[in-house]
Amino acid sequence: MLQHLSHPVTALAQNATLIWCDQTRVAAWVDPGAEPDTLIAIARQQDVRLDCILLTHGHLDHVGAAAEMARRCDIPILGPQVEDAFWLDQLPMQCQMFGFPELPALVPDRWLQDGEQLPLGKVTLEVLHCPGHTPGHVAFFDRESRLALVGDVLFHGAIGRSDFPRGNGPQLIESITRRLWPLGDDVRFVPGHGPESTFGEERRSNPFVGDAALAAGGQPGRGRYY
């Protein structure tokens, strides 16, 4: 069964999330945006063996510590989907814009594709391409534990921004309603920022993408500032 633990990093309180197979203790960090020393220490405290780093998309607050952690732990970086390459190429510019220490451009060891299945010990993660916030955004889903890691696509009570370069509001809504909702109302998800929720709760109450909001003809707004 998949276990998880989130640790907020950066001024945007981005959820860097440690996931691991409870049978084998094989683990991955999802979106390690900063604080590599702390994240490596957390993994040691949990007595897990890091196998890889997984990235949902190319924004700085989600990838800032990935290269250093990969080097120090001798593990590969997987994801996002290749359409986010331009964001990772622009990491130096992102650092300058947000006042972060400068980082070089990042090229993952492997780009991920929609429909891939990633083994993590005895757990299998499904890769879902969910563009809209960024064009190469992906989510990860463990069907057995009914847990999804959705990055900045969906939040508790909100959705991701779509006004960044190559963002697309209608595409974001389609990713949520056609890629995430069909997984089931019982699925719990870890967003890129803020508290966890379930798809069912967001369908009932989310003012941007809930069933009532969409039935009333609502249009995707700016979402959160992430």
pTM confidence score: 0.96
- Is the per-residue pLDDT at 226 higher than 80? no
User: Do the beta carbons of residue 179 and residue 186 sit within 8 Å?
Assistant: no
Nearest to 90 by CA among 103, 109, 73: 103
pLDDT digits (tens, 9 = 90+) for 38-84: 999 999 999 999 999 999 999 999 999 999 999 999 999 999 999 99
pLDDT category at 98 given cuts 50, 70, 90 is confident
What pLDDT does 93 receive?
94
- Up-side HSE of residue 66: CA atoms within 13 Å toward CB? 33
Interval 151-158 mean pLDDT: 97
Domain boundaries, the chain: 2-215
Interval 141-160 mean pLDDT: 98
List of residues 6+ apart from 59 with CB closer than 8 A: 87, 94, 134, 152, 226
Residue 13, by phi and psi: left (phi above 0), alpha (psi -120 to 50) or beta? left
What pLDDT does 216 receive?
84
Residue 224 or 203, more confident: 203
pLDDT digits (tens, 9 = 90+) for 176-206: 999 999 999 999 999 999 999 999 999 999 9
Interval 86-110 mean pLDDT: 94
Q: Please tell me the CATH code under which domain 2-215 is placed.
A: 3.60.15.10
